[in-house]
Amino acid sequence: MTNGRIFKAALVGLSLAICGVTAPDTVLAQELRVVKNGTSSRLSVPMNRAVVVESETPFAELSIANPAIADISSLSDRSIYVLGKAPGTTTLTLLNAQGQLITNVDVVVAADVAEFKERLRQILPGEKIEVRTANDGIVLSGTVSSAMKLQRALDLAERYAPERVSNLMTVGGVQQVLLKVRFAEMERNVSKSLSSSLSFNGNSGGTTLNGGTNTTNTSGGVTTALGGSIPGVNENNGAMLFGFGVGSVEVGVLLEALESKGVVRTLAEPNLTALSGQEAKFLAGGEYPVPVSQENGMISVEFKSFGVELNFVPRVVDGDLINLELRAAVSAIDPSNGYSTDAFTIDAFRRRETSTTVEMRDGESFAIAGLLQDEFIDVNGQVPWLGDIPVLGALFRSAEYQRSQSELVIIVSAHLVTPTRGEALALPTDRIMPPSEKDLFLHGRVARDNSRKLKGAAGEVANQDFSGSYGYVME
């Protein structure tokens, strides 16, 4: 047994002697120590940076597989200077004096992310962004608080790896925006007019006299003994006809007066939700057909939309700060300014439009547009010279006064919103159901009493009593 062990040990020693390498030297030869980085067989070198590595075994020769990726030079028989030139991976080979292999080291050259990480921490403190290198590029991952900060991180990474940045980051927080827009328009119109018409007729010595001022309708009205009349169709609120005779001449006077006042109030409140960075559109109105002539002489029809229009693009900039790119319009058909031919009539449009970009925080409001329009018309007509006569000159004059005022205000409010469960939402139709034949014909009810019961938040809303004032109340 003892002889067998001695024989095996002799064979091992003989084999090591033939190879010319001792066992402890073989173990040390497989190790490469990077200065201040411990021992490793994989060496990472930043691009355009240099590192110094040391071998624990003296080497006589060294080579690099791809000099375009990394450049090397020996400082001593144990120290090596490695310079990263281009992104990639290559192999560093070390040989001893006998030409035997000491070790192979994988040299990985990548973009210098140490400085990039430092700049990222300075510009975007508190953001959980992870930086990695992949081949010759930079990979960004993690979660950022807003889309604006995500874009800043990408712009900074482009400085260090142009066109070689991979974005795996996600944006946290609420990214859906509810926009509430209120269109309020008030129109006030006042119109007053006072006119007189004078007519006379008679015979004297076979000569017929007939004349007057303005016009008087002698048909279709109420005829008097003087032969005059009050017009049968009269837009004025008051008309009075009186007359007198001077010999064979009869004189008639028609006084017409008009005073009208009117107020129109228009209110619309469209609400729309959109994802940050995505465009949303809203239209409450209709489309009006407009004939268009073609080059071949044919007539085609184009439809022009009218009503309340809203287009907006929300962007959640930082936290609860919202950037809104908004275009809103209110339009209506205006037949008074239309175009007419023998074949057809095309109505015009009255349109008020605004386009702007604003920034606001969650829950804040902006008055983005306001228009105050005041139109005044004053017309005074008279018979020359006769209208200037004191007192009696009023019979030869007519005056008309018109004033129109309109005011339009557009107010927007932005809110950050998150989805909710479907049963928590109530529709206007949830509380009302069509009546049965018994309820409609026998009891005269327009809605069924036993409407279906809702559960949850929608049921609480549906069970509320709306017997008092609600909605929009005009006094």
What percentage of residues in the chain have a pLDDT greater than 90? Answer: 2
Looking at residue 87, its pLDDT comes to: 80
59 and 94 in contact (C-beta within 8 Å)? yes
CA dist 221 and 75 (Å) reads 123
| pTM greater than the 0.75 cutoff | no
pLDDT tier at 320, thresholds 50, 70, 90 = confident
Q: At 235, is the pLDDT very low, low, confident or very high (cuts 50, 70, 90)?
A: low
Given the candidates 3.30.1340.30, 1.10.10.1100, 3.40.50.300, 3.40.50.720, the CATH classification of the domain at 113-171 is 3.30.1340.30
Tens digit of pLDDT for each residue in 149-190? 888 889 988 888 888 888 988 887 678 889 988 888 888 888
Return the minimum-mean-pLDDT range out of 147-161, 382-396, 452-466: 452-466
Residues of the chain with CATH 2.60.40.1080: 41-110
- Residue positions counted in the chain: 475
Q: Is the pLDDT of residue 464 over 80?
A: no
What residue ranges in 205-298 does DSSP mark as E strands? Answer: 207-212, 222-223, 229-230, 238-246, 249-268, 271-275, 280-293
Amino acid letter, residue 465: D
Query: Residue 83 and residue 87: Cα distance in Å, rounded?
Result: 12
Whole-number pLDDT of residue 447: 76
**How confident is the model at residue 238, as a pLDDT?**
66
CATH code of the region 41-110? 2.60.40.1080
Q: How far is CA 349 from the centre of its chain?
A: 25
Q: Cα–chain-centroid distance for residue 450?
A: 43
Q: Model confidence over 55-97: pLDDT tens digits? A: 888 888 888 999 999 999 888 888 899 998 888 888 888 888 8
- Higher-scoring residue by pLDDT: 174, 140: 140
Q: Decide if pLDDT at 249 tops 80.
A: no
pLDDT of 25 = 40
Q: Tens digit of pLDDT for each residue in 416-430?
A: 888 877 666 777 776
- The DSSP string of 141-172 is EEEES-HHHHHHHHHHHHHHSTT-EEEEEEE-
Q: Between residues 361 and 268, which one has the greater pLDDT?
A: 361
Give, in order, the Cα–Cα distances in Å from 355 to each of 282, 313, 325, 348: 15, 12, 8, 22
- What does the pLDDT average to over 346-367? 87
Match 């920034």 to its residue by tokens: 359
Question: Could you tell me where in the chain the CATH 3.30.1340.30 domains are found?
Answer: 113-171
